[in-house]
Amino acid sequence: MYDLLSGEYPVYHAGRVLGITALAPRTGQQVLDVGCGTGLNFSLLQQRVGTSGTIVGIDRSADMLNMARRRATARGWNNVILVQADMVLLDPRSIAARIEESGGSAASDAALATYSLSLMGDWTRAWANMTALLGPGGRLGVVDLQDPVGGARWLIPSARLACALGGSDITAAPWRAIEQQCVNVLRGSARGGHLQIRTGDMPEAPVI
């Protein structure tokens, strides 16, 4: 019911498809799903990483994780690890240890945040923790929201209302972190620019 009421398929599913396609995780890789919610990314990620890969879903809501767990169990996805934690406040070393204890790797190959960073009070800290859970040269993806542009500007009031009701900050623009800190950046958008998609690779050496 939650997924039906959230506008997932009329609006937001398109961003998930574009984001995961651009992230392009490979068979056998481990992908961190930041703010995984009810597990709406899992099916798309499973198609990429296969049964030999791992999906690590992190969310602060026990209720959301319970729904994600039911989704994974119903589909027989035994390669899903779920961790309850607040991305802004967590200790990456502690979370990495918990992932290892659950059969995963301490360092993920890729990390994805779809419509989640703009929900967090300090998304820059969440981003720092997200990157800290990646291995060297890990790949990152962000899908999030902004005001519609161009011919779709007439939808701005409804877009802002939807974000306010969902608790998102439509002005956050967390994809800027990928543009500023990553290399090989890919840019995309959908739904009149309301959905913004960015992916990129963490550089082997710090960007100066």
- DSSP class of 141: E
Handedness of CA 128, 130, 136, 139 (dihedral sign): negative
Q: Is the pLDDT of residue 206 over 70?
A: no
Bridge partner residues of 67 (DSSP)? none
207: three-class secondary structure by DSSP: coil
End-to-end CA distance of the chain: 46
Percentage of residues in the chain having pLDDT higher than 70? 93
Work out the average pLDDT over 178-193: 95
Q: Which domains does the chain have, with CATH numbers?
A: 2-201 (3.40.50.150)
**Residues 162, 166, 172, 176: is their CA dihedral positive or negative?**
negative
Whole-number Å distance between alpha carbons of 77 and 26:
17
7-61 pLDDT tens trace: 566 678 999 999 999 999 999 999 999 999 999 999 999 999 999 999 999 999 9
Specify the residue for token string 């800027």: 176
**How far is Cα 1 from Cα 28, in angstroms, rounded to an integer?**
32
Report how far residue 177's alpha carbon sits from residue 207's, in angstroms, rounded to the nearest whole number.
Answer: 12
Tell me what pLDDT residue 205 has.
58
- The alpha carbon of 57 is separated from its chain's Cα centroid by a whole number of angstroms, namely 9
β-strand partners of 141: 112, 199
- pTM of the entire predicted model: 0.92
Residue 98, classed as helix, strand or coil, is helix
Backbone angle region of 206, left / alpha / beta, with phi > 0 → left and psi within -120 to 50 → alpha: beta
Could you tell me the strand order of the sheet in which 80-84 lies?
80-84, 54-59, 30-34, 108-114, 134-145, 195-201, 183-190
